[in-house]
Amino acid sequence: MTQPIPPSPALPKALGHIRVLDLSRVLAGPWCSQNLADLGADVIKIERPGAGDDTRAWGPPYAKDAQGNDTLEAAYYLSANRGKRSLTVDIASSEGQALLRELVLHCDVVLENFKVGHLKRYGLDYASLKEIRPDLVYCSITGFGQDGPYAHRAGYDFLIQGMGGLMSVTGERDDLPGGGPQKAGVALTDLMTGMYATVAVLAALTHRDRTGEGQHIDMALLDTQVAMLANVGSNYLNSGKPPKRWGNAHANIVPYQTFACEDGHLIVATGNDGQYQKFVEAGGRPDLAGDPRFATNPLRVQNRELLVPLLAEMVKRKKRDEWIALLEEKGVPCGPINDVGEVFANEQVQARAMAIDLPHPSAGQVKLVRNPIRMSATPATSGMAPPLLGQHTTEVLREVLGRSEEEIAALRERGVI
C-alpha cells in the first residue's frame, strides 16, 4: 500500500533559496531538475504551448482519474517531473525569448538539453545569458558534449549504451544460449547523466556562493557512460583486453551470480572466501570449501568452469526461500529476483515508503516513486505532483515577473504563452 505524504510547509528545504529555469525535456535533464525540486528548489519547467514535454505522450500507461479513465498524463512523464511548475512559452518567438531572458534574471540555474548551438540563435545560450546574469550556473546536457567530432550528433540513451560499451558487457555469454549484447532495462545512461548533472549543479552553486562566479557545465551522455563503466573500464585500461559479457555472473568474483533453485532463481553474491565457505557448507558440500582449486577467489575465478556446475547442482536441491533463510542466517549475501510488483510488495520497500501518493488536479492522486535521499534536517521530498501542461503559467508570470492579468492575457492571445 502506498503511503501519502502529508503536507509539511514548515519543513526546511535544502535548496529553498534556489530557482531553476528548466528548458530540458525527456529524461536526463528532467531527472536532474526533479532531484533539485525534491531538494527544495523552485523549478520552472518551460514547455511548448499545446504540446509540452515529449514524454507527456509516451504512453500507455497513463494516470487514471477517479472513474478509471486515462488522463493526459503519461506514467513516463510522471516519473521525472515531480515538484515543478509548468510554464508554456513559444521559445521560437522573439517575445518568448525576451520573456525567458527576463526570467533568467530571477533564476540561479538554467538547465537545457538542446543540440549544440541551437539556443544561440535565440539568445539563450550561456555566452548570451552570462552577459545579463554573470553568476548564472548554466548546465547543458547533450549526447556527445559541446566539442569533439560528434558534438553536433543527436544522442539517445539506447545508442549511447551501445557506443559507450555498456551493451558489450551486458547480456548472456556468447557461447551460451541467448548470448549477445543487451541494453539495460531502464535508461541508465540518461539517469546517470541526470545524477552527475545534479552533482555538478550543486558544486557550481557552492562555488558561486563562495566566489560570486557562475559557470557553464558541459554534460555528455557518452562521457557519463564511459565513466560509469567503473571497474570494467579500469579492467581494460590495466590489462589491454576488452571485457566480455558474463550474463548474470561476475568477471572478477566467483560465485557471484544467479542459480536455479528447485522452484525459482537465487542470487548468491559471495564477496570473500569466508562467505564462500559458509555457502558451500550450508549446501552440504564442505568438500568444496577445502578443495585447493577453490580455496581463494582468484583460484575460483580461474577454475569457474569446474566449480560453477558443482554449485548449480548443489543449489537446485533446495527451494528458493529455504536457501534465503539458510544463507541469511549464516551471513551470506543472497536474494530473490523480484518482478516490479514484488518489489513494491516487499516489506522493506514498504517500510521505507518508496511508493507515494500525491494529489493531482486531473487524476485525483498519482502514484510515484519517492526520492531515495534521506536527510534528517531537510527532507528531500516534494509534495507537488508533476504539473499539467502550462498549469503554472499565470502564477509564475504574476509572481516572478510581476505581470498583470491583462498583460498575461495579451501574451496568451498573441500565442507567446
Q: What are the b/e assignments for 344-359, b being 16+ CB within 10 Å?
A: beeeeeeeeebbbbbe
pLDDT of 1 reads 41
Residue ranges and CATH numbers for the domains of the chain are: 19-228+353-414 (3.40.50.10540), 256-339 (3.30.1540.10)
Mean predicted confidence (pLDDT) in 392-405: 96
Residue 300 near residue 276 (C-beta atoms within 8 A): yes
State residue 382's pLDDT score: 77
Backbone φ, ψ for residue 262 (5° rounding): -60, -30
Per-residue pLDDT tens digits for 38-54: 999 999 999 999 999 99
- How far apart are the C-alpha atoms of 218 and 139, rounded to whole Å? 6
Q: What average pLDDT does the segment 84-104 reach?
A: 97
* pLDDT value for 56: 95
Q: pLDDT tens across 171-223, in order?
A: 998 888 888 999 999 999 999 999 999 999 999 999 999 999 999 999 999 99
| pLDDT at residue 176, rounded to an integer | 85
Neighbour count for residue 187 (Cβ, 10 Å):
21
Q: With cut-offs at 50, 70 and 90, classify the pLDDT of residue 12.
A: confident
Q: Provide the 10 A C-beta neighbour count for residue 244.
A: 11
Supply the pLDDT for residue 168. Answer: 95
Q: How far is CA 186 from CA 23, 197, 220, in A?
A: 23, 18, 18
| Contact status, residue 299 vs residue 243, Cβ threshold 8 Å | no
Which band of pLDDT confidence, cut at 50, 70 and 90, is reported for residue 6? very low
Confidence band of 381 (pLDDT split at 50, 70, 90): confident
The pTM for the full model equals: 0.90
Q: Give 229-239 pLDDT, tens digit per residue.
A: 999 999 999 99
Give tens-digit pLDDT for 118-155. Answer: 999 999 999 999 999 999 999 999 999 999 999 999 99
Q: Evaluate if residue 4 carries a pLDDT over 50.
A: no
Give the per-residue pLDDT at 229: 96
User: Who has greater pLDDT, 1 or 392?
Assistant: 392
The answer to whether residue 392 scores a pLDDT higher than 60 is: yes
pLDDT surpasses 90 at 294: yes
Grid cell, residue 288, equals 568444496
**Per-residue pLDDT, 141:** 98
Catalytic residue among 38, 125, 157, 190: 190
- Give helix then strand counts, H and E, for the chain: 17, 14
Determine the average pLDDT of the residues in 110-114: 97
Percent of the chain beyond pLDDT 90?
Answer: 89
Give the pLDDT of residue 197: 98
* Residue 66: per-residue pLDDT: 86
pLDDT at 8 over 50: no
Q: Is 263 a catalytic residue?
A: no
pLDDT value for 2: 47
Q: Residue 67 corresponds to which cell in the numbers above?
A: 472513474
Per-residue pLDDT tens digits for 53-89: 999 999 999 999 988 999 999 999 999 999 999 999 9
What is the pLDDT, as a whole number, of residue 383?
83
Query: From CA 270, how far away is CA 310, in angstroms rounded?
Result: 16
Q: Which of 2-16, 94-108, 163-177, 221-235 has the lowest mean pLDDT?
A: 2-16
Minimal CA–CA distance to 133: which of 158, 152, 166, 108? 108
CB atoms inside a 10 Å sphere around CB 186: 10
Average pLDDT, the chain: 94
- The tens digit of pLDDT for each residue in 17-35 reads 999 999 999 999 999 999 9
